[in-house]
Amino acid sequence: MMQQSQLGRARRDAFLARIGARPLIMGILNVTPDSFSDGGRFLAPDAALAHAQQMVDEGCDIIDIGAESTRPGATPVAIEEELGRIEPALALLAERLDVPLSVDTTKPAIAARAAALGTAVINDVWGLQQDPAMADVVAEAGTAVVITHNRHSTDKSIDIIEDIRRFFERSLAIAQRAGVPYRHIVLDPGIGFGKSSRQNRDVIARLGELKDYRLPILVGASRKRFLGKLTGDGIEGTLIGTLTVSLAAIAAGADMVRVHDIAEHAAALKVLQALRDRET
């Protein structure tokens, strides 16, 4: 099993230590040809590095790299292909950038290689439940992990927060059995994953109900499809919709947001923080 590098451990600890001091920004870097928003733009390692550096300059705290699209209907990617996409970019970013790196994958082999290259966080959109080996890899490699709620299909009749809590309980039990330290876990309620537009809104409004886990909460609503329905223009990539949901999530208890548009979120969160400081 590949172990987390010394660099990865240092960046993991620095990242986890910053949580709670202020809202954090996770920047999205897709090295994919088919992501719904920016597919194909950053496949080349040099292009990935340039965009990552821009996000750092604009104020992101951690960069999340994905080599397999998680959009609805996306074609699954073989391990060899995913590794071929992500390894060159990840190696370059780990060497050139000072910020911690996260890798968005559901495959244990990718997670293990990412940890060896200096990755601080594994972001698993199936919350350690798709592949039974993932929790063991995370535990042995020593990375932090984002446990994301997901569903294979949408069921409008369910209480989505109750469903999220059941899912988290299973994931946390898996993590505990594997030996993943509780302090290394971040929870993501999975906006847009197996949820109706109403359920996505319910998650944001009721985010505080997940605070009793005493774990950091990450919310990723950036450019999601339901935002276009809410603004009335039908545009997935609408910035105003993303900003509104991100700020609402932070106000409701989220500790960080996963977004494409860094500069705009950094400015908005700076204003929000100033307003909060005025209240104390």
Sheet strand arrangement including 101-104 = 185-188, 144-148, 121-124, 101-104, 62-66, 24-30, 256-259, 218-219
Is the model more confident about 37 or about 249? 249
Q: What is the pLDDT of residues 108-134, one digit of tens each?
A: 999 999 999 999 999 999 999 999 999
- Boundaries of domain holding 55: 6-272
What phi, psi does 9 have (nearest 5°)?
Answer: -65, -45
How far is it, in rounded angstroms, from Cα 99 to Cα 109? Answer: 23
Q: Does residue 198 lie in a domain region?
A: yes
**Percent above pLDDT 90 for the chain:** 77
Q: Does residue 209 lie in a domain region?
A: yes
User: Poorest-confidence range of 12-21, 65-74, 155-164, 184-193?
Assistant: 65-74
Q: Does residue 279 lie in a domain region?
A: no
Quick one: angle between helices 134-141 and 108-116, nearest 10? 10
Out of 224, 225, 270, 276, the active site residue is 224
Question: What is residue 121's three-state secondary structure?
Answer: strand
* Per-residue confidence (pLDDT) for residue 1, from 0 to 100: 44
224: annotated active-site residue: yes
Q: What is the pLDDT of residues 158-171, one digit of tens each?
A: 999 999 999 999 99
Out of 11, 12, 195, 258, the active site residue is 258
Q: Does residue 191 lie in a domain region?
A: yes
* CATH code of the domain containing 136: 3.20.20.20
Q: Does residue 212 lie in a domain region?
A: yes
Q: Does residue 1 lie in a domain region?
A: no
214: annotated active-site residue: no
Q: Does residue 278 lie in a domain region?
A: no
Q: Does residue 227 lie in a domain region?
A: yes
Structural domain count, the chain: 1
